[in-house]
Amino acid sequence: MKKYVVVTGGVLSGVGKGIFSASLARLLKECGVRVNVLKIDPYLNVDAGTMNPNQHGEVFVTDDGYEADLDLGHYERFLGEDMSRKNNITAGQIYSAVVKKEREGGYLGSTVQIVPHVTGEIKKRIESLEGEINVIEIGGTVGDIESEVFLESVRELALEKAADDFLFIHVTYVPYLKASNEFKTKPTQQSVQLLRRSGINPDMIVIRSENPVNGDSLKKVALFGGVPIDMVINLPDVPNVYSVVEILKNYDVHRKVARRLRINLDESNFKWDYPKTFKTYKIALVAKYLGTDDAYKSIIESVFLSGCTKPSIVDAQVLEEMSWEQVCETLSEYDALIIPGGFGKRGIEGKIRAIHFAREYKKPILGICLGMQLMVIEFARNVLGYKNANSTEFDSNTPYPVITLMEEQKKVLQLGGTMRLGSQSMRILKDTKLWQIYGGVEQTSERHRHRYEVNYDEYPELFKMPNESGNKLVISAQSNFIEAIELEEHPYFIGIQYHPELKTKVGNPHPLFKALVDSIRN
């Protein structure tokens, strides 16, 4: 038995299809259903790795080294399961597979067309999903030229299968006009019409809104959308997105889906625990991708799921323009700092100043990937006096290249999917804070996404092993590379070459974030 729930979006992108799909999947999972999820991204990039986080949000890296859309992060956190490259398809992957097959003679004699060849490739990928219920989220908004081929594919597939194998849910937005004190359903009505033009009738309409929408407006949506009123669900904004699972349950969405798909649910073991109370510590995320909070989604959610209010973003470039006194004054307001990953030169001097402040004033600080590399640079410059020490990523002529391109990266010519990616194993060294934080685990693996590494061979004098003496950075985890560093005599000064934020799940935040929050004493 394989059933499919297709989630499409209307009116606007970014209204929360990802959260809805993840919450629905978790709700069904809690009712004993084996669920799987698939995000379809209609863009032509083969994966999200080459996109700017300012526009598209963070790149979420899976264990198998796939650079995915951030929705896979929602799926992992909500479902408590690791995703892989099988959980995401992009138009780029589909078209390149079709063109490759054509060159190999795979369609010999045929004119290769969108229908049936491209749709055929999409349907094949969808059919390979192995859940009892497969939740398929189609990215973008109906009416987008890129998504039409995907809508066509699910329409065809639904026709080929039994009537109770498919369910279509359309997630839209109903705006509120303050001037006339009314909710406006016209954009939703029109987006349902667009969906119908692609041959798809929604079975359920989910209305996102800022505030609860009144009953009359919901009736209007039901009427014009051609669905029974009990299949119109209103989801107003909530302060805690993890409550959506519960809200959907209260609306009986799981039973409505199950009835339509003719499957049985077992609700006897339903359990959904998520943090509801939060410490109100102020954590600064010293960052540079300011276009959208989505650029640091997994870090923000990791702090939140550790039971602390969400971090605020501090513009790294603003710190560059301040006097040192202003930097100290600004950052003193915060209880802890996080220096996230990133690429390119912009903002790095501001981040280095934040690290300098945290080191001197013993403010808890977590440096992630680029953040750890900058911790090494800061230490070389300000403790060892290596003037202009840098990473060759930002200054190819630095007199002290303490961070350099990994040897294996020197041969790399293409930029898509070629970094050191995904799960890599490492050894945590005993008698370090890291070792304590991991609960005494010595061998583990974490997810990576980088090209540069600590240049230990040329600058061993910056580092020491645990229990050695001297004012140096303690190496706290190793593989072929230095994976983590820390400082003694500091409440929390930890840098890691990997991305712990990618492993946080609801009810199981990565211990590095939990420990950061715990290190704050007011």
The catalytic site residues sit at: 369, 499, 501
The reply on whether position 449 binds ligand GLN by CB under 6 A is yes
Q: Which of 452, 459, 492, 513 binds ligand GLN (CB under 6 A)?
A: 452
| CA–CA separation, 284 and 303 (whole Å) | 11
Q: How far is the CB of 398 from ligand GLN (least distance, A)?
A: 15
CB 289 within 8 A of CB 296: yes
* CA dist., res. 474 & res. 372, Å (int): 12
Which are the contacts of 88, defined by CB distance < 8 A and separation ≥ 6?
38, 39, 40, 41, 47, 66, 68, 69, 72
Q: Binding of ligand GLN at residue 393 (CB under 6 A)? A: yes
Q: Smallest distance from the beta carbon of 341 to ligand GLN, in angstroms?
A: 3
Q: Considering the rule CB under 6 A, would residue 483 count as an interface residue with ligand GLN?
A: no
Across the chain, how many H-helices and E-strands are there? 17, 24
- Minimum CB distance to ligand GLN, residue 283 (Å): 18
450 is a contact residue toward ligand GLN (CB under 6 A): yes
401 touching ligand GLN, by CB under 6 A: no
Least distance to ligand GLN, CB of residue 174, Å: 38
Instruction: Considering the complex, state which of residue 336 and residue 369 has its C-beta at the smaller distance from ligand GLN.
Output: 369
Q: Which is nearer to ligand GLN, 193 or 317 (CB)?
A: 317
Beta carbon nearer to ligand GLN, 363 or 448: 448
CA–CA separation, 319 vs 174, rounded Å?
Answer: 40
- The tokens of 261 are what? 């798909």
Structure tokens at 353: 């100043």
**Of 234, 239, 229, which is closest to residue 213 (Cα–Cα)?**
234
The distance of closest approach from Cβ of residue 487 to ligand GLN in the complex, given in angstroms and rounded to an integer, is 20
* Nearest to ligand GLN of 140, 311 (CB atom): 311
What type of residue sits at position 279? K
Residues belonging to the chain: 522
Contacts of residue 186, Cβ cutoff 8 Å, sequence gap at least 6: none
Question: What is the residue whose two structure tokens read 């989910």?
Answer: 206
Tell me the residue nearest to ligand GLN as measured from the CB. 341
Under the binding rule (CB under 6 A), the answer on residue 194 touching ligand GLN is no
Please say which residue, 126 or 287, places its beta carbon nearer to ligand GLN: 287
* From 12-20, 448-456, 462-470, 502-510, span contacting ligand GLN (CB under 6 A): 448-456
Q: How many residues bind ligand GLN (CB under 6 A)?
A: 10
Minimal distance, residue 98 CB to ligand GLN, in Å:
32
- Whole-number minimum distance, CB 399 to ligand GLN, in Å? 20
Please calculate the CA angle 27-28-34 and round it to the nearest 5 degrees: 135
Whether the CB-CB separation of 198 and 155 falls below 8 Å is answered with yes
Amino acid at 164: D
- Which of residues 28 and 475 has its CB atom nearest to ligand GLN in the complex? 475
By CB under 6 A, is residue 260 in contact with ligand GLN? no
Q: Can you spell out the DSSP letters for 183-227? A: E--HHHHHHHHHHHHTT---SEEEEEESSPPPHHHHHHHHHHHTS
Does position 137 bind ligand GLN by CB under 6 A? no
Based on the shown chain and the rule CB under 6 A, indicate whether residue 451 belongs to the binding site for ligand GLN.
Answer: yes
The single-letter code of the amino acid at 394 is: F
Residues 331-390 touching ligand GLN, rule: CB under 6 A, are: 341-343, 369-370
Dist. CA 158–CA 372, nearest whole Å: 49
Query: Based on C-alpha coordinates, what's the Rg of the chain?
Result: 25
Stretch in the footprint of ligand GLN (CB under 6 A) among 119-127, 197-205, 351-359, 444-452: 444-452
Contact segment (CB under 6 A) with ligand GLN among 39-47, 158-166, 204-212, 446-454 equals 446-454
Q: Tell me how far, at minimum, the Cβ of 33 lies from ligand GLN, in Å.
A: 36
Contact yes or no for 503/301 (Cβ under 8 A): no
- Which residue, 107 or 343, is less far from ligand GLN as judged by CB? 343
Q: Which segment (274-282, 296-304, 449-457, 503-511) binds ligand GLN by CB under 6 A?
A: 449-457
d(CA 106, CA 88) in angstroms, rounded, equals 24
Of 370 and 380, the one with the shorter C-beta distance to ligand GLN is 370
Chain residues that interact with ligand GLN, rule: CB under 6 A = 341-343, 369-370, 393, 449-452
